[in-house]
Amino acid sequence: MGQEKITAKDIIALKNKRKITMLTAYDYPLASLIDRAGIDMILVGDSLANVVLGLDSTTKVGMSEMLHHAKAVTRAVRHALVIGDMPYESYQVNPHESVKNAKRFIDEAYCDCIKLEWFDRCLEVSEEIISAGIAVIGHIGLTPQTADKSGGFKVQGKDAEAAQKLIEQASLLERLGCFSIVLECVPDKIAKLITQKLTIPTIGIGAGVHCDGQVLVTYDLLGLFERFTPKFVKKYINLSPLILKAVEEYKNEVLQEKFPEPKHSFTIKEEELAKLKMEPLPG
């Protein structure tokens, strides 16, 4: 794919051609680096709540925070498809406001499309948003916004009945017009079945290698989120200790007056300094 902006249609066209890459971003500098690295899709995930805002649940983040961060991401991105993740209250608590909120991601934050998690009114809400002309990526399996209500944060689709439900949900979302579906924490063989059944791409997170693409939370792969590390995460670098070391070094150099050095400081000519009418120092 060239350097032009990626569209939802381009993502569909990648199925069975090559794997699709997706990562989360919540700010300008990381979004810019992720885009420059050539990642296909950037999700402004509601994982913002946990990894950036220090909250204990994704349900605690709202539209204003999501839009604030989505705007920073779209300012940085030239190439990747940017997905705004609908926060819990924006469509699950208030389904009648879901189209209005989806539009805000597009019109105010300049996202290209939105993602929403499966819930009991998911089909109706997805249909309305798609009918409003907004591209939607579905999310089934472990859906963190409702995980507490549906048995906790664990692998989904582990028995035949539960797996059958996931296959049906994926097919229904495809039929409604979703352009892709995230499969979170699903056994790899079930993810493979869903991937083979659908004509739209599946993007896995903890769903094995057979999905059409993969997504991770960027703070996890960079080692910037220390509270817990799910089994499906691979840390490609562990930045937390490196950052800690740099900050401690800065602190020590300030305390020891080793920083700033003359090369970090600004000067004034001596003759200008001499012209200053200085009050004599007291005492």
Q: Which ranges of the chain would DSSP assign to H, the alpha helix? A: 8-13, 28-36, 48-51, 63-76, 88, 98-107, 122-131, 160-176, 188-197, 218-221, 239-255, 270-274
Q: Is 31 in the site for ligand KIV (CB under 6 A)?
A: no
199 to 228: interface string for ligand KIV, x by CB under 6 A: ------x---------x-x-----------
Q: Which is nearer to ligand KIV, 14 or 147 (CB)?
A: 147
Q: Is 248 a catalytic residue?
A: no
DSSP secondary structure string for all residues of 139-187 = EEES-GGGTTTTT-SS----SHHHHHHHHHHHHHHHHHT-SEEEEES--
Q: Which stretch binds ligand KIV (CB under 6 A): 45-53, 63-71, 106-114, 185-193?
A: 45-53
Rule CB under 6 A: choose which of 45, 87, 141, 223 binds ligand KIV: 45
**How many residues sit close enough to ligand KIV to count as binding (CB under 6 A)?**
10
Rule CB under 6 A: choose which of 47, 59, 169, 214 binds ligand KIV: 47
The token pair at 179 is 């352009």
CB 56 within 8 A of CB 153: no
Q: Is 116 in the site for ligand KIV (CB under 6 A)?
A: no
Chain residues binding ligand KIV by CB under 6 A are 24, 43, 45-47, 85, 182, 205, 215, 217
